Amino acid sequence: MGKFQPKRLRLKSGEELEIREARSADAASLVQYVEAVSGESDNLTFGPGEFELTAAQEAEYLEAMAKRSNAIHLLGLLDGEIVASLSFAGGLRSRMRHAGEFGMSVRRMHWNKGIGNVMLSVFLDWCRRSEEIRKVNLRVRVDNHAAIHLYEKHGFKLEGRKTREFLLAGEFVDVLYMGLEID
């Protein structure tokens, strides 16, 4: 049994979202998901063709994540298809193990169903139950108002701004650094 107990939660659309820890057997499907989602949003740090991991490399990554007590990769599935992904990794050194950064994505065709909210809630519950995670960090584009609202709703606070983090179509976009202290 992994460090995360799978969950099935009803979305506002009425659909049932399965949330579970990613396994090495998911590697090929996850690589396909990442390639698909990379072309659906400019909010990610990579675009189509830039992920550059093979299924074998992704499987190794997932196996390594599964062994770390302060890291997790969650999948959101509808009818067995990956529609969301959330990964978090805490620091490797003892002074930094308690803190880490997460990233999350949802397939565009499933936006506005509450999937991001559910994934984030389940993830933060896992963090609170851990005896290790005490700080969760994220980066978000300054113009991604829906995501910023979601993070604020869950208690994340603005901690800073980094200029020119993204370059899209010749235009620079800043990112906000946000954090949540876990008690």
48 pLDDT more than 70? yes
Task: Take residue 35 and report the two structure tokens written for it.
Answer: 């390639």
| Residue 48 DSSP code | T
Q: Domains in the chain and their CATH numbers? A: 7-133 (3.40.630.30)
Pair 138, 112: CB distance under 8 Å = no
Q: What is the structure's pLDDT at 59?
A: 96
Closest residue by Cα to residue 6 from 45, 16, 149, 96: 16
Confidence of residue 2 (pLDDT cuts 50, 70, 90): low
pLDDT at residue 75, rounded to an integer: 98
**Closest Cα to residue 46, out of 113, 4, 103?**
103
Q: Does residue 1 carry a pLDDT above 60?
A: no
pTM of the model: 0.94
Which residues fall within 8 angstroms of residue 123, CB to CB, at 6 or more apart?
72, 74, 86, 88, 102
Per mean pLDDT, which range of 11-20, 48-57, 103-112, 119-128 is the poorest?
48-57
